[in-house]
Structure 1
Amino acid sequence: MLLTVFLTTVFLAQAAAAAPPIDDGKIRGVIQRYLAAETAVSAENVEIHVNDGVVMLSGSTDNLLQKNQIARIAESVRGVRAVIDDTRVVPALREDDAVARDVRAALARSASLGIGENTVAVEKGVVTLQGTVDSWVRSRLAERRAMSVRGATKIVNQIVVIPGRHRDDKTIQMDIMKRLQSDLYVDASGIDVAVTGGRVRLEGYVRTAAEKRRAAENAWVAGVVAVEDRQLIAKWPQKETMQRPSPYIQQSDQTILKAVEDALLMDPRVNAANPDVSVINGVVTLSGVVDTLYAKRAAEADALNTTGVWKVDNQLHLRYRAFPTDAEVESMIRDVFKRDAELHPLDLGVDVADNHVRLSGSVKTMGQKIRAENIASQIDGVLTVENRIKVQPDEKTASEKDSDIKSAIEDELFWSPYVDSDRITVTVTNGRALLKGGVANRFVGRIAVQNAFEGGAQTVQTQLALNGGGTFAERFMEKPGPSGLDAALGLWR
């Protein structure tokens, strides 16, 4: 509690310099709505307090994945400067030996990522990881794998990062700046980077707590031993500049090529395969061979998250070898589902034919559906995944009136850091939403579609003019999955 009070004081002192223009009560309401729409967490189990843009979370969740998701959702809301997470994990009781066994199995399944040799100890649900890896990314991958095991209440990550090679501070600084500038979800214009002895200091301003976290993660390039971001302040601009600059910035093909190659090189899920990359007019083509469908999707996500890329042609193939039998693949998928903190209580169907997987059943949230697909894609021998899992929200959400859905969608668009809600009109008929008006580009258009589904739309039709010419006119039967590591692969973002 003393630590919480201290951190709150620090964050409020930082916030005092430029108070947010957004009311704390509205911020709290938006977070509550996002939690109800995007998570399986009961609203009565989580308390949310907001003071000058600093969010304080308390209460309890069933597992570490939910705890992490709640904090990430709060970070992403416009006007939030920092999140202090005091929620406790209270899972169904399991023996420590059983938790340790499942954590070791989860890490062993990721041996190709260089995280399978770490040691595991569990005491009263607290998992301690020890060992050495050559990058911060691998350390975080191991931590994320351990978080997914049911019964784990906390992860103590004592994995030591030993960089594979020494790099001078100037090279590290330039590498970090390039990564920040190439990341669709970070506005690097307000960030200063200093490096001394491999220790990185980030200063300046970003728009949300989520953007601050992502900037810090981008700073963990090869050769970095520590990242300090206390002087990187999250503050929202005044009304006339509510939307951040468009994340899509036109770049030369050569610049895009170098950025994508760097992203793939940093990603341990992909770098061993060394995919071939080519770029023509902002369209990235990936070719070569990878070991799993998981790696193929990871490479595509890395490319899509690069500034200047508007489309990816993924021609990566799975390396030919003796694949497991269909029965073995089904058994492996079910085994991971069984020990997964989020999916283990769900009755999901798994059918495998000629190494092609079909998932069925029902879940409460889109996140659970995506997670099931991501897990299946990581299993050795899986060629494709057909996800027929249905998202069945609570009856109250499903029975909302068109007027309620319309208001919710308009609210979602207003709170988006990318969409200019004044340029979009919304109509809803029998749960079907129509978005008309204009957006900066297709990237922003897809975010508007995601916002519409988050507002309760059953389907979404767009008729949106693009700033550079053309029209974003498509019909969506379900919410498009956002790009990024979290969404595509259920990792640390």
Structure 2
Amino acid sequence: MKTPYILTATAAPSETMADADITTAIERLFTTQKGLNEHALDVATHEGLVTLTGFTDNLLARQRAEEIALAVRGVRGVTSTVAVQTLDLPDADIQRDVCGALADDPATADYAVHCTVAGGVVTLTGMVQSWAERQLVLRVLQGVRGVTTFVTERLTIQKGEIVNSDAEITTQIRELLDWDIRVNSALVEVQTHEQVVHLLGTVGTATEKDHIVAIAYQTGAARVDAHDLLVAYWALGSELRGEKFAPRANEAIVKAVRGTIYHNPRVRCSETLVQAHEGVVTLAGTVSNLRARLEAERDARHVVGVHDVHNLLKIRPKRLVPDADIRQTILAALARDPYVGHFHFVVSVHQGQATVQGLVGSAFERERVGDVAAGASGVLALTNRVAQPGLAGPGTGSAAHAGGPNPDHALAGRIRQRHFWSASLHDQDIEVQVSHGRATLTGTVDTWPERQQAAADAYEVGARDVNNHLQVRTPAAPESQPAESLELLADVNH
């Protein structure tokens, strides 16, 4: 769930993307995104600020449309009034599903949160421990068919006896920004007064700005003012981000990874151990569920100085869940999902090892099935055997046999065009080759998230498969580094 904040309308200097081109690029992206009805969405751009109107049939699709627009090159911010128009489902069914979603999720099962539903509107009542936990509740419920919006005034965050001072909030934000590979903090200033955080400076993308605002809320800010945090094209320059790729000491990387994990409510209570050596992080210990294991690795890859992660975390559920119960939980979660709920799946579970089979229409839907199933309590491992037969994507198919344009050439062009309009990928060293609908990506990108995004973009525009051979940029080795023994550190916050 995006955190709302007011966008500045001040023109950014050195912007090179025309508003009409930005609008066209977003509209084209919507046509290739599975799970979005591009005919129901309207896009307008003025001085790099994008306005989205229209409707989607679920909350996840609305958020996805906003995230796609934010990530487009030249976009400085997004305002969305997109409405959610779902099928008329009985409130009793939606109530059952939202309660089931919270109860079945290993992280939210113990939260003191109650839901009531009226006309598809979910009213949340209760108390959570942090802003991150509150956002997690909303993310879980976004994945329930029939939900149109939330009323959250009565979902409060518990305030402990010790509250971070303004100086502590500023320091924590500064540290999180400096260690997050997804943002360039060199041009960002943080000021805090009475727990209201004021962000000033310049960043290169609207997605980056959105992420910085979220980081500020994680530290306990009551409100975040991002009026004076501008998005400008020139701030994407690689020379401004050199500090993000400087070598870091092993102990500092370990501390940063532990801090990042601590802010993730799915992982923070786990017995997580962290080890680092020359940018390679090893995660050991135990977590309570499969999704926590996956998110711990993802969080570690977002830390500056980390260029690879060995995930040795073992899954130890809080309680033994019978295989039959795991199977029913997975089936229920898939059935209530707005993207894949209309497909039929066969689920089998043996000693906590789950296998999902079925047919879907796209790589996005196949990935969604795996993500939903991995979130079920008791799952120790997941095999995703869901297939998408005949997935060739736009511009592929029988054209080559009929003497028409080469479909592989057309697909490669669409992938390159997609990367060109990506704020984070347009200047990366990516080579694209396509053979029989299979894309091969080679070259070097700056970060692990960019490597993942490059492959996801190829799937979105029609690739049947992607061989992702992209290398992630690694920092140069320091001129001299003292020999030291590696110390396995336990997360003191578990």
Structure 1 length-normalised TM: 0.84
Corresponding position of 1:410: 416
Q: 2:56 aligns with which of 56, 61, 81?
A: 61
CA displacement 1:217-260 (0-9 Å, x = unmatched): 1112344222222221222228x948974764432212211111
**SS of equivalent residue, structure 2 residue 234:** coil
Relative contact order higher in (CA < 8 Å, ≥ 6 apart): 2
Which stretch shifts more, 19-28 or 139-148? 19-28
Which stretch shifts more, 158-167 or 378-387? 158-167
1:161 counterpart = 2:160 = no
CA displacement 1:412-435 (0-9 Å, x = unmatched): 232233446585554433334455
Q: 2:434 aligns with which of 396, 417, 428?
A: 428
Q: Within 5 Å, which residues of 2 pair with 1:45-194?
A: 45-110=40-105, 112-113=107-108, 116-158=111-153, 159-164=155-160, 165-194=162-191
Aligned-residue offset at 1:332? 1.1
Which stretch shifts more, 103-112 or 415-424? 415-424
Which stretch shifts more, 187-196 or 116-125? 116-125
Corresponding position of 1:489: none
Contact 1:323–1:380 (Cα < 8 Å) also in 2: no
Q: Distance in 1 between matches of 2:92 and 2:447?
A: 52
* Alpha-carbon spacing, 1:12–1:259, altered in 2? closer, same or farther (3 Å): closer
**SS of equivalent residue, structure 2 residue 112:** coil
Which letter does structure 2 place at the counterpart of 1:46?
L
Aligned-residue offset at 1:65? 0.8
Q: 1:364 aligns with which of 337, 361, 364?
A: 361
Q: Within 5 Å, which residues of 2 pair with 1:7-22?
A: 13-14=9-10, 16-18=11-13, 20-22=15-17
Corresponding position of 1:490: none
Contact 1:111–1:117 (Cα < 8 Å) also in 2: no
Q: Distance in 1 between matches of 2:77 and 2:435?
A: 38
Structure 2: give runs of 5+ residues left out of the alignment: 398-405, 477-494
CA displacement 1:284-320 (0-9 Å, x = unmatched): 1111111111111121111111111111111111226
Contact 2:354–2:382 (Cα < 8 Å) also in 1: yes
Aligned-residue offset at 1:369? 2.3
CA displacement 1:166-188 (0-9 Å, x = unmatched): 12222221111111111121111
Which letter does structure 1 place at the counterpart of 2:349?
V
Q: Distance in 2 between matches of 1:422 and 1:265?
A: 31
* Alpha-carbon spacing, 1:462–1:277, altered in 2? closer, same or farther (3 Å): closer
Q: Distance in 1 between matches of 2:315 and 2:428?
A: 45
**SS of equivalent residue, structure 1 residue 220:** helix
Corresponding position of 2:482: none
Q: Within 5 Å, which residues of 2 pair with 1:32-431?
A: 32-110=27-105, 112-113=107-108, 116-158=111-153, 159-164=155-160, 165-237=162-234, 241=237, 245=241, 248-319=245-316, 323-391=320-388, 393=391, 396-399=394-397, 401-419=407-425, 421=427, 423-431=429-437
* Alpha-carbon spacing, 1:421–1:382, altered in 2? closer, same or farther (3 Å): same
Aligned-residue offset at 1:194? 0.8
Q: 2:20 aligns with which of 25, 43, 47?
A: 25
* Alpha-carbon spacing, 1:174–1:366, altered in 2? closer, same or farther (3 Å): farther
CA displacement 1:455-480 (0-9 Å, x = unmatched): 4333445777887699xxxxxxxxxx
Contact 2:205–2:233 (Cα < 8 Å) also in 1: yes
Q: Distance in 1 between matches of 2:347 and 2:287?
A: 24
Aligned-residue offset at 1:323? 2.7
* Alpha-carbon spacing, 1:348–1:302, altered in 2? closer, same or farther (3 Å): same
Contact 1:253–1:281 (Cα < 8 Å) also in 2: yes
Q: Distance in 2 between matches of 1:374 and 1:166?
A: 35
Q: Distance in 2 between matches of 1:346 and 1:66?
A: 17
* Alpha-carbon spacing, 1:245–1:351, altered in 2? closer, same or farther (3 Å): same
Q: Distance in 2 between matches of 1:441 and 1:340?
A: 31
Q: Distance in 2 between matches of 1:269 and 1:395?
A: 35
Which letter does structure 2 place at the counterpart of 1:31?
I
**SS of equivalent residue, structure 1 residue 18:** coil
Structure 2 length-normalised TM: 0.84
Which letter does structure 1 place at the counterpart of 2:80?
D
Which letter does structure 1 place at the counterpart of 2:170?
Q
Aligned-residue offset at 1:138? 0.6
Which letter does structure 1 place at the counterpart of 2:464?
Q
Q: Which has the higher helix share?
A: 1
Contact 1:143–1:157 (Cα < 8 Å) also in 2: no
Q: Distance in 1 between matches of 2:445 and 2:71?
A: 21
Which letter does structure 2 place at the counterpart of 1:142?
V
The total of aligned residue pairs comes to 461
Q: Distance in 1 between matches of 2:42 and 2:144?
A: 25
* Alpha-carbon spacing, 1:114–1:384, altered in 2? closer, same or farther (3 Å): closer
Over the residues paired in the alignment, what is the CA RMSD in angstroms? Answer: 3.0
Which stretch shifts more, 347-356 or 186-195? 347-356
Q: Distance in 2 between matches of 1:77 and 1:84?
A: 14
Which letter does structure 2 place at the counterpart of 1:187?
N
Q: Distance in 1 between matches of 2:142 and 2:474?
A: 43
Which letter does structure 2 place at the counterpart of 1:372?
V
Aligned-residue offset at 1:334? 0.6
* Alpha-carbon spacing, 1:439–1:379, altered in 2? closer, same or farther (3 Å): closer
* Alpha-carbon spacing, 1:415–1:242, altered in 2? closer, same or farther (3 Å): farther
Contact 1:115–1:138 (Cα < 8 Å) also in 2: no
Corresponding position of 1:3: none
